[in-house]
Amino acid sequence: MSESIWYVAIERAVNNNIPRVKSILERHQYILDARSRLRQAKLEVIRNLKEYVGMTMESVRRNGGNVYLAKDGGEARSIVEKIVGDRSTIVMGKSMVAYECGIRQHLINKGKEVWETDLGEFLIQLSNEPPSHIIAPAIHMTREQASKVIKKIDSTSSVQSHEEIAGEARKFLRQKFINAEVGITGANAISADTGSILLIENEGNIRMTSIMPEVHIAIAGVEKIVPTLEHAFLEVMVQSAYAGLYPPTYVNLTSGPSSTGDIEMKRVSPAHGPKEFHLILLDNGRFKTADDPILSEALLCIRCGRCHFHCPVYRVMGQRWGDPPFTGPMGAMWSYVVYGDSKPSLLCAHSGGCREVCPMDINIPKVLERIKYIAQK
Ligand code: SF4
């Protein structure tokens, strides 16, 4: 990607996103109250993380699901590989944690046919690039570039507009959803009391990924746990509002495999949806982070991506700042949490813009200062 293309792409994204978030927050002021309640609920979980992981695992099992605690990416890859077994076709809904663990590449290396189904992820899979933003992984691509990349699925394609590019991907992926035997998603929030996962989206790909295949695997960091289902709904409201995508087109709630109670009110499984539901909870540095009073603030991040657009460093450096999939101010924190890499923290200019706009009130510059301090000890 040339530097000038990055500047065009980021300017278009910033101009679209910032005014939209502002108008959402003006129109739906209850979001401001929701974000304070959510911060308190997430702090409660971080302070008692082991207990909440235990409660969540118990709840998932109660719903007929399978649940695992993976200590790192390697363990998560082995669990996924075992669940997939000899099934060969897999669709994936956008998941940063799946990227963190290298799930897609691992399955491809094992000879599986694997397709990302979120349009942005699909484009970067085709162009063999890392994601450049947590909610818009192909944000570095202009429309003109995306129309060239989509030709990889049909060299005769001459699509140009945003709508035509989306239509081309839709046509190609439809059959993949129908054929897929396994669907892999992330989770925006997990409720400890009910063992449910909530996923927000606009494309409909996550709904198809989690419903159509016979096996659904969800993989998420332990910091996605909140005490109750009510808090999980708060999280999806706040995340989508601060991402500039409120109301989200779809909110998907999954509590175990599909089931029916239609005969004599006896609940049996499966029904039309997946026969199996697996939740993989990932540590990979999160438990250690929870023990540090300053670093633990990073675990409050709900991945709304707002800090990126208000950061002068990200606006210049884009995906070159941080370790994929973690870019921008949140990425400078998370590159350290999961990869132990303190270098991204050194590039922070301490403008403080990120802190002002973060819905979780994370003092990002202070967390980055803490990382620098630990790294030079
Ligand atoms: S650090 Fe705050 S603003 Fe940035 S992605 Fe996370 S929650 Fe959003």
CATH of the domain at 351: 1.10.1060.10
15: confidence class by pLDDT, cuts 50, 70, 90: confident
Rounded distance, CA 34 to CA 114, Å? 37
Please indicate whether residue 302, judged by its CB atom, sits closer than 6 Å to ligand 1. Answer: yes
Last residue of a domain, one of 240, 257, 284: 284
Q: Does residue 1 have a pLDDT over 60?
A: no
Ligand 1 touching residue 42 (CB < 6 A): no
Higher pLDDT residue, 8 or 297?
297
Compute the average pLDDT of residues 110-129: 94
Domain count, the chain: 2
CA dist., res. 79 & res. 69, Å (int): 10
| Poorest-pLDDT segment among 156-170, 212-226, 239-253, 289-303 | 156-170
How many Å lie between the centroid of ligand 1 and the Cα of residue 122?
Answer: 24
278 and 318 part of one domain: no
- Domain end position, chosen among 253, 284, 315: 284
102 in a structural domain? yes
Q: Is the pLDDT of residue 139 over 90?
A: no
First to last CA, the chain: 37
Least confident among 161-165, 272-276, 360-364: 161-165
Residue owning the nearest CA to atom 4 of ligand 1? 307
CB 99 within 8 A of CB 132: no
Q: List pLDDT tens digits, range 312-344.
A: 999 888 888 999 899 999 999 999 999 999 999
**Over pLDDT 90: what percentage of the chain?**
82
Q: Atom 7 (ligand 1): residue with closest C-alpha?
A: 301
pLDDT of the residue at 329: 96
Query: What is the rounded (10 degree) CA torsion for 197, 355, 101, 149?
Result: 100
Tell me the average pLDDT across 346-358.
94
Return the pLDDT at 155: 82
Whether residue 347 lies inside any domain: the answer is: yes
Question: Can you give the pLDDT at residue 137?
Answer: 78
Distance, CA of 138 to CA of 120 (rounded, Å): 5
10 pLDDT above the threshold of 90:
no
- For the domain that residue 160 is a member of, what is the CATH number? 3.40.50.10420
pLDDT-derived band at 188, boundaries 50, 70, 90:
very high
Do 93 and 175 have their domain in common?
yes
Summarised one tens digit per residue, pLDDT across range 79-102 is 999 999 999 999 999 789 999 999
pLDDT of residue 6: 75
State if residue 307 touches ligand 1 by the CB under 6 angstroms criterion. Answer: yes
Do 322 and 265 lie in one domain? The reply is: no
- Does ligand 1 have an atom closer than 6 angstroms to the CB of 330? yes
- Region 212-220: mean pLDDT is 98
Q: Specify whether the CB–CB gap between 255 and 194 falls below 8 A.
A: yes
Q: Which of 206-215, 303-312, 318-327 has the lowest mean pLDDT?
A: 318-327
pLDDT band at 280 (very low <50, low <70, confident <90, very high): very high
Nearest to 293 by CA among 1, 32, 39, 46: 46
Which residues touch 300 (CB under 8 Å, ≥6 apart)? Answer: 39, 42, 43, 46, 223, 360, 362
Residues 225 and 134 in one domain: yes
* One domain for residues 346 and 297: yes
Task: Tell me: do 212 and 166 sit in the same domain.
Answer: yes
Q: Is 135 in the pocket of ligand 1 (CB under 6 A)?
A: no
Q: Which residue has the higher pLDDT, 79 or 134?
A: 79
- Alpha-carbon torsion 18, 21, 27, 29, what sign? negative
Q: What pLDDT, on the 0 to 100 scale, is given for residue 318?
A: 82
The alpha carbon torsion through 77, 83, 88, 90 (nearest 10 deg) reads -70
Domain holding 168, by residue range, is 48-284
- Shared domain for 184 and 86, answered yes or no, is yes
Are residues 93 and 161 part of one domain? Answer: yes
| pLDDT beyond 90 at 60 | yes
307 has pLDDT over 60: yes
Give the pLDDT score at 2: 62
Q: In the prediction, which pLDDT does 230 show?
A: 98
Across all residues in the chain, what is the average pLDDT? Answer: 94
* pLDDT reported for residue 279: 98
CB neighbour burial string for 28-41, b if at least 16 within 10 angstroms, e if fewer: eeebeebbeebbeb
Name the helix (H) or strand (E) containing 97: helix 96-100
Provide mean pLDDT across the span 267-288. 96
What is the mean predicted confidence (pLDDT) over 19-38?
A: 97
User: Considering only CA atoms, which residue is closest to atom 6 of ligand 1?
Assistant: 301
Last residue of a domain, one of 284, 319, 346: 284
